[in-house]
Amino acid sequence: MYCPFCSHDITQVLETRYQEDDNSIKRKRKCESCHGKFVTFESVQLSFPLVIKKDNSRQAYQRKKIEKSLMLALRKRPISIETLHITIQSIEQILLLIPKEISSQEIGILIMEALKKLDKIAYIRFASVYKNFENISDFKSVMKELGKNNG
């Protein structure tokens, strides 16, 4: 670590603290040369694939979009925030295995698969928007499919 004051390359770590809120490490440091003190933060940088949108544009992966979709589908359902975060993490573990790009449709499928295991009502809610249901028969076919998987 280089000193921000004199650019000397040897600094001493005075204190290290784990920051639970964002999974980072805060280190208080002191330069061996100028004795300047400063703080650094270390965190893991994960490499998610780019998301290909319906219009073929590409954008960086945004966890908030998955979280928002899941929260909407799970609204007023008996699922804890902890379970929601575990579900998002399981989806992200799959995304981290994708080397460069993934379509937003494929992400939607991953969300539907997670919801199918987690909560059938939330799955139907998400599927109705994702698959653009237009009539009752669309709902009936999904419910029939869920019935086959349960029985």
The predicted-structure confidence for 20-75, as pLDDT tens digits, reads as follows 777 789 999 999 999 999 999 998 878 899 999 999 999 999 999 999 999 999 99
Is the domain of 39 the same as that of 67? no
Give me the long-range contacts of 111-119 (CB less than 8 A, separation at least 24): 111/66, 111/69, 111/70, 114/70, 114/87, 114/90, 115/70, 115/73, 115/74, 116/146, 116/149, 118/74, 118/79, 118/83, 118/87, 119/73, 119/74, 119/77, 119/79
Whether residue 134 lies inside any domain: the answer is: yes
Is the domain of 56 the same as that of 30? no
Whether residue 2 lies inside any domain: the answer is: no
Whether residue 6 lies inside any domain: the answer is: no
CB contact at 8 A, 48 and 92: yes
Supply angle C-alpha 124, 125, 130, rounded to 5.
90
Alpha-carbon distance of 128 to 60, in angstroms, equals 26
Whether residue 5 lies inside any domain: the answer is: no
Whether residue 66 lies inside any domain: the answer is: yes
Q: pTM of this prediction?
A: 0.67
Is the domain of 33 the same as that of 97? no
Number of domains within the chain: 2
Is the domain of 73 the same as that of 24? no
Whether residue 18 lies inside any domain: the answer is: yes
**DSSP states along 20-86:** TTTTEEEEEEEETTT--EEEEEEE----PPEEEPTTS-EE---HHHHHHHHHHHTTTSS--HHHHHH
Is the domain of 36 the same as that of 70? no
Whether residue 57 lies inside any domain: the answer is: yes
Is the domain of 38 the same as that of 58? no
Is the domain of 19 the same as that of 90? no
Alpha-carbon distance of 38 to 15, in angstroms, equals 11
Instruction: Give the mean pLDDT of 115-137.
Output: 90
pLDDT band at 113 (very low <50, low <70, confident <90, very high): very high
User: Which structural domain range is residue 17 located in?
Assistant: 11-43
Is the domain of 99 the same as that of 120? yes
* Structure tokens belonging to residue 94: 């799959």
Whether residue 54 lies inside any domain: the answer is: yes
